[in-house]
Amino acid sequence: MYSMLSGKFADFLRNQYREAFSGGMSDKVSEALEPELVNLFGLKVNPSMFTAFGLTVFILLVCVIVRIFIIPKFQKRPKGMQIVLEGIVGYFDRSATSELHRHGSFVGPYVFTAAAFIALGTLVELIGIRPAFGSINACFAFGFTTFLVINICGIREKKLWGRAKRYVPNIINILTDISVPFSLSLRLFGSIMSGFIITELLYAQLFTSIVLPAFVAVITTLFHAAIQSYLFATLTVMFVREAVE
Amino acid sequence: MTSTLLAETTLPLGLNFFEILLEMFNLAILVVGVRFLLYKPVKKYMEKRSEEYKKAEEESEQKRKEAEDLKLQYEKVLEESRQNAITCSKEATASAMIQAEEIVENAKTEAERILQKAEEELSHKELMQKEELSNSVSELALDMASKILQREIKTEDNDIVINNLIERWKN
């Protein structure tokens, strides 16, 4: 009985793999990677961009609500929402300030926002919305912005010549620095897209779309959301610290 | 025109530079918004509270030091008081001893004086009594002699007899 079921499941996976990758990408994978573009103020853009904009509006609205209704009611002895907010902001501020000192006040909010955006942008997949990082453009945007932040801090700390001097004795450093935004972007895109594609493939078949996604989604979405946001935040702080050292 | 060209450029995986710029702009707005609406006010509140705690801690430390100084002062005063009390007690004891000795001395003197007076009085009384007794004995002897002799006895006889008696009595 079990061997029959496992045999059927192995056949199913084989068929899925063949369907997905034999003779090019399957419709599902292709659709996940290159979805039909949508119209945004006359421009054809990836639907992930809608998620990104929507998420920005949502986060800003939450911030406004928190600013108006929660922050003025802060007490010396924190409780409830205040503990959560102070815990999160305190964590990012401490990690940025302890590593980057005067640059902490600039990098801290960036890392905090990026981590929150990555986590929420991935978690929206759980409610059936296309993740914000389902488009490689969003990932590259994050990678390039981090690259800008790293260099702004580096130039602020060492001035332009001081920053450029590191390329003189060892020209390979140029390659090291240029690879940073690409490694950040492609890591983000790879992990989030892989989770998205796996979930899409599971939903594509009736047999696997009943109970399995509840477990797989936890691994591919929840874990990725937490891990990728943590990783992005840690790597950003690390790269900026290298630049200002 | 450029934007249209950028937007419509077809690259692998849907790569589009215009979208990247839009996403970067979106992220920049979000970072600025979150920084001013959430991050900075929360951080400012935490720093303010931390500053207050630091200030309170410093004040408490200062008060603790003041209290310790006061304690030391009080301990010093207490020690001085204790020493004074011991000195006073010693002095009082010494004074009391001297006084007691004086009292005892006075009492002794008084007792001696009383004793001497009593002895003097006693001696005086003894003499008086002896005198009285001597007189009464002489009278008694005279009476006895008169009766025995049944005659007139002259004073000279009396004196002889009395003096003899007195001498004997004295002895």
Name the strand (E) or helix (H) holding A223: none
When CB atoms are compared, the residue of A46, A109, A142 closest to B35 is: A109
Average per-residue pLDDT in chain B?
85
For residue A116, list chain B residues with Cβ-Cβ distance below 8 A.
34
For residue B20, list chain A residues with Cβ-Cβ distance below 8 A.
137, 140-141, 144
- Please say whether the beta carbons of A182 and A143 come within 8 A: yes
What pLDDT, on the 0 to 100 scale, is given for residue A217? 78
Can you tell me which residue has the tokens 């490689």?
A: A136
* B72-94 pLDDT per residue, tens: 999 999 999 999 999 999 999 99
A210 vs A119 pLDDT, higher one:
A119
Structure-token pair, residue A25: 């990408």
* A183-221 pLDDT per residue, tens: 999 998 888 888 888 877 777 776 777 778 778 877 778
A25 has a pLDDT exceeding 70: no
Between chains, do A141 and B20 touch, taking CB under 8 Å as contact?
Answer: yes
DSSP 3-state of A208:
coil
For residue B18, list chain A residues with Cβ-Cβ distance below 8 A.
43
User: Looking at CA atoms only, how far is residue A8 from chain B in angstroms?
Assistant: 33
Closest CA to A105 of A91, A93, A90, A87: A93
What pLDDT, on the 0 to 100 scale, is given for residue B52? 92
Between chains, do B33 and A63 touch, taking CB under 8 Å as contact?
Answer: yes
Say if B5 is an interface residue toward chain A (CB within 8 Å): no
Long-range contacts of A172-179 (CB under 8 A, 24+ apart): none
* B107-121 pLDDT per residue, tens: 999 999 999 999 999
* A160-181 pLDDT per residue, tens: 888 888 888 788 888 888 999 9
Radius of gyration of chain B (CA): 65
DSSP 3-state of A133:
coil
Confidence class for position A144, pLDDT limits 50, 70, 90: very high
DSSP 3-state of A45:
strand
ipTM of the complex: 0.82
Which is it for the CA torsion A132, A137, A139, A141, positive or negative? negative
CA gap A168, A163 in Å, rounded:
10
CA gap B121, B125 in Å, rounded:
6
Q: DSSP of A48-94, one letter per residue? A: HHHHHHHHHHHHHHHHHHIIIIIGGG--SS--THHHHHHHHHHHHHH
When CB atoms are compared, the residue of A63, A117, A140 closest to B20 is: A140
Domain ranges of chain B: 16-170
- Residue B16 to residues A25, A32, A84, B5, B144: CA-CA distances in angstroms? 21, 16, 38, 10, 179
For residue B26, list chain A residues with Cβ-Cβ distance below 8 A.
52-53, 56, 141
Between chains, do B20 and A34 touch, taking CB under 8 Å as contact?
Answer: no
Q: Percent of chain A having pLDDT more than 90?
A: 34
Average per-residue pLDDT in chain A?
84
Domain ranges of chain A: 24-244
Terminal-to-terminal C-alpha distance of chain B: 175
What pLDDT, on the 0 to 100 scale, is given for residue B5? 46
- Residue A103 to residues A62, B33, B168: CA-CA distances in angstroms? 26, 19, 142
- Please say whether the beta carbons of A196 and A32 come within 8 A: yes
Between chains, do B30 and A59 touch, taking CB under 8 Å as contact?
Answer: yes
